[in-house]
């Protein structure tokens, strides 16, 4: 690794298994052009401190594994270049609103359980036919466009971490789950609209969204969960849209 300049990474360290308290540790990392925060963390792990725990996989913003809080905002470490932060000092913390397994690794069980709660799959009335489909479920381009942007979600939990409602109401499903609810609700191949509505029409359901829009601001894939929530509310309040 060759580089003429360096950055100071202030990294959150915490190991709940040994009863330790959270602390911050500073690392000086040499930089190179195009270096991402994930590159810097891997450099630390390989050269400075092998005890640092991070989670990553694809390194190309596809898997959603390396979500963390970088300089105060939830971001994907692999999708955040050091140069774009315009600072020689980078604060790296785990995702907010989630328990911590160790250091920068957040426990995503709660997040995925809420995702499962909204039944993120197509449901047909004829289960037998769904198990053994006789033909393709055809869709027009217009029908696809109604939900396709919400299907780009990579389940990185950045929106969940940014949501102010999740931080105060642990029963709130969160923007990711609600956006996925709408994604399947509006899909013309799905036949469980009322069932989906019942899932989120509770005291801690979709109506608790304050429309802070922070979920949409942090999504690395350009998904707009706040829009999905508003569209879903409209469907619930004024009835199913035509078409």
Q: Find all residues with CB under 8 Å of 158, minimum gap 6, and list them.
A: 67, 74, 75, 76, 95, 218, 219, 220
For position 221 contacting another protein by CB under 8 A, the verdict is no
Nearest 5°: the CA angle 143, 146, 148 is 100
For position 239 contacting another protein by CB under 8 A, the verdict is no
Nearer to another protein, 37 or 98 (CB): 98
Nearer to another protein, 162 or 200 (CB): 200
Residue 175 CA to residue 229 CA, distance in Å, equals 7
Nearer to another protein, 60 or 203 (CB): 203
For position 60 contacting another protein by CB under 8 A, the verdict is no
Nearer to another protein, 189 or 208 (CB): 208
Evaluate the CA torsion angle 204, 206, 207, 210 in order and state its sign: positive
Nearer to another protein, 88 or 204 (CB): 204
Binding span for another protein by CB under 8 A among 15-23, 37-45, 140-148, 195-203? 195-203
For position 173 contacting another protein by CB under 8 A, the verdict is no
127, 203, 222, 242: which one binds another protein (CB under 8 A): 203
Residue 224 CA to residue 217 CA, distance in Å, equals 8
- DSSP single-letter state for residue 85: G
51, 99, 201, 240: which one binds another protein (CB under 8 A): 201
Q: Where are the alpha helices (DSSP H) in the chain?
A: 37-43, 109-117, 127-131, 141-145, 158-162, 164-168, 175-185, 193-200, 214-218, 225-238
Residue 229 CA to residue 20 CA, distance in Å, equals 39
Q: Are 33 and 13 in contact (CB under 8 A)?
A: no
- Taking CB under 8 A as the rule, which mask of x and - marks residues 127-166 in contact with another protein? --------------------------------------x-
Binding span for another protein by CB under 8 A among 3-11, 65-73, 74-82, 205-213? 205-213
Could you list the residues that contact another protein (CB under 8 A)? 165, 168-171, 197, 201-205, 207-208, 236-237
């Amino acid at each position: 690794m060759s580089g003429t300049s360096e950055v100071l990474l202030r990294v959150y360290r915490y190991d709940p298994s040994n009863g330790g308290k959270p602390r911050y540790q500073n690392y000086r990392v040499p930089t190179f052009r195009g270096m991402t925060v994930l590159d810097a963390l891997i450099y630390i792990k390989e050269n400075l401190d092998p005890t640092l725990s991070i989670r990553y996989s694809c390194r190309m913003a596809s898997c959603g594994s390396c979500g963390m809080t970088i300089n105060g905002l939830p971001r994907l470490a692999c999708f955040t270049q050091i140069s774009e932060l315009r600072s020689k000092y980078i604060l790296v913390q785990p995702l907010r609103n989630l328990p911590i397994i160790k250091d920068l690794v957040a426990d995503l069980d709660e997040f995925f359980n809420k995702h499962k709660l909204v039944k993120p799959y197509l449901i047909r009335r004829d289960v037998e036919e769904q198990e053994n489909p006789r033909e393709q479920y055809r869709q027009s381009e217009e029908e696809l466009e109604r939900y396709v942007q919400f299907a780009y979600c990579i389940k990185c939990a950045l929106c969940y971490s940014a949501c102010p409602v999740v931080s105060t109401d642990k029963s709130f499903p969160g923007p990711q789950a609600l956006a996925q609810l709408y994604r399947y609700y509006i899909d013309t191949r799905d036949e469980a609209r009322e069932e989906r509505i019942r899932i989120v029409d509770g005291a801690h359901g979709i109506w608790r969204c304050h429309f802070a829009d922070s979920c949409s601001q942090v999504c690395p894939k350009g998904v707009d969960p706040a829009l999905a929530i508003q569209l879903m509310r409209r469907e619930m309040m004024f009835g199913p849209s035509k078409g």
